[in-house]
A and B are shown apart, each in its own frame.
Chain A
């Protein structure tokens, strides 16, 4: 009898997978524009213009959840710094968008963003160089979170900081970045962050068509991100990651460099988070230091948990569902949201450790098969 996972491995890039992937993609790529543009606005099935950026936001969150699942669900590393990578990607995009405003700001300064004029700065700081070009900004969106993850991860993994210790220092990193970005003299808009964007690549960010374009770009990024994650987790590296989640030192004695393995996925994961942040900013129209707050990073973990950690589709499902609930509840009864969110944290860890996807699989395999011991054992800290 071949194992379930071996079957899955055989099916990794099977026609069946591509059909499912293509199907989901088509629904997201075609469905939303059709419902938005072609269905009459007064119809019940129509997606009004204002909902498009909201959907785009969920897609960005899904990509962010995917990035955390790669490192937490597969390698067992609970990073509480992914909110920071997300925000850094967002700031890179925000800087590009600020430069696009040009002389249309409140102070009408062609070179300096409003907040710099307000602070009486005379010239752009050196790190703003190049951000008027999209290509440069795009490179930075990948490089800044990636390099930070590379350096931070190299320091941490090399000295074998694991388990909760790693969680705590990534949280401290996020916290330090938040304090830094709150400062006005950092040159990132301080408390208020950056907002009042006008154009992206020449298109007006407020136009429904631009927003639809941004949504589609987010879906494309999510699809690519999913394929990258699937490629990694189904490769031999994926097995190395699962192995090091079980028994890290044993992997070392087999001759694999645990440091390199963790570093690679940590960096890839941070880059994905950064891209998610960059796509998020033009759709919500603002980036400010509160994106760095430690609570945000922990919340990502709960999206992944709710969907089912260690499954890529689970991360996406969880992110979308939790955020739908958040949007709905904060509208209906704002004070109950924290109770619900807190309850989700407790319930998913205590009662549903494998999340929605886990429940789904359990229901499907309840009849003939014995329950496969999915990713239950936690790495010993």
Chain B
């Protein structure tokens, strides 16, 4: 109904628009301020361009009494929105403004865009209105709420309305507003409530309402912080897990200390980079978003092939000599790093997120969840599940477990143990390669990418209990979350040191990890 009224008022308001526009030519700042306020209340879309230009110092006075917007290289008549051909900007005077006027313009602009045709602009305006609550604003917001069809914009407007009412409404309105505002986490509103509480010291009822709202906000902020830490922890945990899953196979299942594991991750990341470059260079522009689909198998195969080669040439000769394996594979890692450095150069390479992975969404109250992190969490769960299936449900997995548990028996039963060793190692390395693709989505790619993760990966596997996928999963998530919760308390570096020291102490309490096997087989190893 209001909408209809507004529509009916339109012709009349056309007249008013011209009047107020002309009033901007006044010399007195007070007159101009009145005109600005009036333009704001008008709810005419054309006023937005005028006020923006005024704010930016682009509003000019034509000698014929018109007001002109300078939009280099053109001059535009705000009444019609058309280009004015017969004037040059140099010949015209600027409409001057001062700081007080600037504030008025911003308020008016905020109110105006509440009626903009663009939903995003309306939403922005509704949020902006919180910043300058006023009686007039409240009236306008009421109008806008009535006209608004989209629920989330309406909610934002409602919040701004509450904020306005908190300062200027009746007592009943104030109480209702305080209650409503308690459900937010906006620091702006918290300030507003603080002011409100200070102002209503004399009225216990109001003060109580303010206290309740503030307490509720505080609680919500705590909850948001908790969620943010939890998400970031899970995200870090998923990254650690991705880096460690491959190791859980090569180290956990096969007992091979592969210090070049980090370099398998690095190779995967470079595979992603190469795929991206190939897509950019040879395929139609629209296809670039699909490069990840190519990068995953390419990375798996590349890293897997390097892994198989490494097993066949080096590791095979060192079975049963873990310390020598550690040194030899460290040497291999140096060689791989330097090879990549020679080919791609030492500077970081950037791998861009596909467009569907960029950005994120606002979970609650200013805490943004980015899509690439979400994707990595899901990717890592998928890999883990696929691996668990492979190990427990396929004949290849059965053979792998048979070989690692009782090699002579497995070979007696006709399993080609050497081939299974190479395949198992290739699988672990290939998964590391896929992890590299995932890591390329959240950071830069460089030849020493792997060294960043190697210490952590080993700690995750040892912490979780060697040879235990579930342990690796729990260990990675636990470490990720603990790390992120320590960060605000102790700082990023110190938090990490605390985690490292804790793990060192933990391993000494339980040398076989969280999920240690128990029994004679376990003791025989010692």
A-to-B contact residues, CB < 8 Å: 72, 76, 78, 155-156, 158-165, 167-169, 171-173, 175-176, 179-180, 182-183, 249, 294-295, 298, 301-302, 305, 335, 338-339, 341-346, 348-350, 353, 378-381
Contacts and interface: CB of A to CB of B under 8 A. Distances in A.
A164 B509 CA distance: 16
B110 to A, nearest CB: 43
B322 A161 contact: no
Chain B, interface size: which category?
A: 35 or more
Contacts of B504: 169, 172-173, 176
B149 interface: no
Contact of A349 (B328, B508, B511): B328
B342 interface: yes
Nearest to B324: A349
B327 interface: yes
30 contacts: A72-B323, A78-B326, A155-B508, A159-B509, A161-B511, A165-B462, A168-B458, A169-B504, A169-B508, A171-B458, A172-B459, A172-B500, A173-B504, A179-B493, A180-B497, A182-B493, A249-B526, A294-B451, A335-B342, A342-B331, A342-B332, A342-B338, A343-B331, A343-B335, A348-B327, A349-B325, A350-B317, A350-B318, A379-B323, A381-B323
A-B interface, 10 closest residue pairs, ranked by CB to CB distance from nearest: A345-B331, A342-B334, A342-B335, A338-B338, A176-B500, A342-B331, A349-B328, A349-B324, A378-B321, A159-B508
A379 B324 CA distance: 11
Contacts of A161: 507-508, 511
Main secondary structure on A side of the interface with B? helix
Interface of B: 257, 259, 314, 317-318, 320-328, 330-335, 337-339, 341-342, 451, 455, 458-459, 462, 493-494, 496-497, 500-501, 503-505, 507-509, 511, 525-526
Contacts of B459: 168, 172
Contacts of B331: 302, 341-346, 349
B323 A294 contact: no
A341 B335 CA distance: 8
A179 B326 contact: no
Contacts of B451: 294-295
Contact of B455 (A294, A344, A381): A294
B452 to A, nearest CB: 11
Given A301-B327, A381-B525, A163 B322 contact: yes
B128 to A, nearest CB: 40
A346 B314 contact: yes
Contact of A345 (B330, B511, B526): B330
A168 B458 CA distance: 7
A176 B333 CA distance: 21
Residue picked from A78, A158, A164, A294, most chain B C-beta under 10 Å: A164
Given A169-B504, A179-B496, A180-B497, A338 B337 contact: yes
A219 B504 CA distance: 36
Contact of B314 (A78, A341, A350): A350
Nearest to A376: B321
B462 A175 contact: no
Given A168-B462, A172-B459, A381-B323, 6 more contacts: A169-B503, A173-B500, A175-B455, A176-B497, A179-B496, A344-B331
A339 B497 contact: no
A298 B511 contact: no
A237 to B, nearest CB: 22
Contacts of A182: 493
B326 A338 contact: no
Contacts of A249: 526
A152 B500 CA distance: 14
B497 A338 contact: no
